[in-house]
Chains A and B, each alone.
Chain A
Amino acid sequence: MPLRDELRHAWVVARKDLLVEYRSRTAIVSAVAFVILVLLVFNFSRDPTAVSSIDLAPSVLWVTLAFAATLALNRAFQLELENQALDGLLLAPVGRGAIYLGKLVANLLFVGLIELLGVPLLALFFNVPILPYAGPLAGIIALATVGFVSVGTLFSAMTVRTRVAELLLAVLLMPFMVPPLWWAALATSRLLGGRPLSEITGWLKMLAAYDIVFVFLALLLFPATVNE
């Protein structure tokens, strides 16, 4: 199938998922509420006289995003469980790669929206000046997000078929989430600490390498998770 058709099909799949989400808005509202609650938990589980918020901000940011994303990722394939919608999707004349890409794009936009709302809330609650670093910070977040969402989308196609889907996805995904999260958290703390950008390019390159490797790997492996 030509690449253009593949991409068009992927967008159709993504659009369908986003439309379902747009009409109900339950997942995004609960995800954002969850982000606010995690931020609250963080605020009340630290001693403000002992740890300054700027030191804590990168870890708060990445833990919050990691938890919110893990909870959100199951949604993509859970949508397809009812009425055996997945079978219908697989019977449709679109490639497996297009289905994966579509799910990935939908997940990325969904997680991206959570991040778009979550990061300003973090800045607000923890009094972190993010505006001067908005560009590079968005870059770090985008690179890290593509990495773990690509793996998470692949894994969620497998875990939704088990009884303990949410928990199992978290257990499987965390080891894969940690390297990008780690690099991203280190880069974030350098960035917010006002260090020059050249100090974080190494981590950005690692994140980019991780993204490229795992997006391609997931594209190759996805058919094995849905084919009988």
Chain B
Amino acid sequence: MRMLRVGRWITAIGLLLLAGVYIRALVFTPVERLQGLAQKIFYVHVPAAIWAESAMIFVGLASVFYLFLKDPRLDRFAEASAEVGSVFAAIVLTTGPIWGKPIWGTWWTWDARLTLTLFLFLLYVGYQLLRGAIAEPGARARFAAVLGICGMVLVPFIHFSVYMFRTLHPMPIVLKPSTPSLPGSMLVTWLLSVGVFTLLYVGFVTQRYALSYLREQVEVIGDVGRGTGDR
């Protein structure tokens, strides 16, 4: 299928560029004075975090439109975006503690942002569990849409909480109302990394979308049930 191939190519290019970004980050970008090399993880952590949350927003938007238009493509996109979002959330939750150990002296702290990223991850898990638990495609799509919209609405509450509580987590350095407070070369590396992660998001989603389309075709043929032909 053409779409699957396109998705694979985008992903491959994205991964290659990610390696490029890291070469730039390690060799050509200055080392942060206080955090040292540990700060380099910021170029994965923050773009992944941005996409982990944006994916939820996309799931929610696709869900809203699905409930109005009942277009199966929107449902497939929501499913793909949720799967990719959970991967990015997992990246955030893995890279965070790796950075936290040398800088904070602890792998995990019940800080507002960490806790809520964990809940975002669990939201994605719940979304996929709900999809897996409903066999009938129409009901599955509607239920998933309901959960997706609720998830999207929960995200602003999460964000607001982050600012309400005193936290250990560094405040945003780039995405804040005033101008970014980091050297230009770091900003460029970071922006490149955001670009690469965007490409990866698109590549992953395209592949998962194509896959769920193929799975639906198989379900229509009826040879393989969801239980066996899954994932």
Identify the A interface with B (CB < 8 A).
151, 154-155, 158-159, 161-164, 168, 171-172, 174-176, 178-179, 182, 202, 206, 210, 213-214, 217, 221, 224-225, 227-228
Question: Would A224 and B157 count as touching, CB distance under 8 A?
Answer: no
Write out the residue numbers on chain A whose beta carbons fall within 8 Å of the beta carbon of B4: none
B154 touches A162 (CB 8 A): no
B126 within 8 Å of A by Cβ?
yes
CA distance A214 to B152 in the complex (A): 12
- Tell me if B158 counts as interface (CB < 8 A to partner A): yes
Residue in A closest to B112 when the chains form the complex, CB atoms: A182
Interface band, chain B: 20 to 34
Q: Evaluate contact between A175 and B146: CB separation under 8 angstroms.
A: no
Residues on B with beta carbons closer than 8 Å to the beta carbon of A158: 130, 134, 143, 146-147
Further pairs besides A179-B157, A221-B149: 20, Cβ < 8 Å: A151-B150, A158-B134, A158-B143, A158-B146, A159-B133, A161-B134, A161-B139, A162-B133, A162-B134, A163-B133, A164-B133, A171-B125, A171-B126, A175-B120, A176-B154, A179-B154, A179-B158, A182-B161, A221-B146, A225-B143
Given contacts A168-B129, A168-B133, contact A154 B146 (CB under 8 A): yes
Q: Which residues of chain B are within 8 angstroms of A174 by Cβ–Cβ distance?
A: 122
Q: What chain A residues lie within 8 Å of B151 (beta carbons)?
A: 175
Cβ < 8 Å to A, chain B residues 3-60: none
In the complex, chain A residues whose CB is within 8 Å of the CB of B125? 171
Query: Contact partner of A172 among B67, B130, B139, B161, CB < 8 A?
Result: B130
Residues of B within 8 A of A (CB): 67, 115, 119-120, 122-123, 125-126, 129-130, 133-134, 138-139, 142-143, 145-147, 149-151, 153-154, 157-158, 160-161, 164
Nearest B residue to A220 via CB reads: B149
Distance in Å: Cβ of A130 to nearest Cβ of chain B: 25
Kindly state the separation between the CA atoms of A217 and B67 in the bound complex, as whole angstroms. Answer: 13
User: Nearest residue in A to B154 (C-beta to C-beta)?
Assistant: A176
Judge whether A213 and B138 touch: CB under 8 Å: no
Contacting residues, chain A, for B157 (C-beta < 8 A):
179, 206, 210, 213
Cα distance A164–B129 when bound, in Å?
10
A159 proximity list for chain B (CB < 8 A): 130, 133
Chain A facing B: main interface SS: helix
> With A and B bound together, what is the CA distance between A86 and B130 in angstroms?
21
Chain B residues within an 8 Å CB radius of A176:
150, 154
Q: Give the distance to chain A from B20, nearest Cβ to Cβ, in Å.
A: 36
Contact B146 A224 (CB under 8 A): yes
Please state if A225 and B130 are interface contacts (CB–CB under 8 Å): no
Min CB–CB distance A93 → chain B (angstroms): 23
B100 to A: closest C-beta gap in Å: 21
**Residue of chain B at shortest CB distance from A179:** B157
A171-B150 CB under 8 A given contacts A202-B164, A224-B145, A225-B142: no
Q: Which of B119, B129, B130, B145 contacts A178 (CB 8 A)?
A: B119
Q: Would you call B161 and A179 a contact (CB within 8 A)?
A: yes
Complex A-B, nearest 7 residue pairs according to Cβ-Cβ distance, in ascending order: A162-B133, A175-B119, A172-B126, A158-B143, A175-B123, A221-B146, A224-B142
B122 contacts which chain A residues (CB < 8 A)? 171, 174-175
Query: What are 29 A-B contacts defined by CB distance under 8 Å?
Result: A158-B134, A158-B146, A158-B147, A159-B130, A159-B133, A162-B130, A162-B134, A163-B133, A171-B122, A171-B125, A172-B129, A172-B130, A175-B119, A175-B122, A175-B123, A175-B151, A176-B150, A178-B119, A202-B164, A206-B157, A206-B160, A206-B164, A213-B153, A213-B157, A221-B146, A224-B142, A224-B145, A224-B146, A227-B142
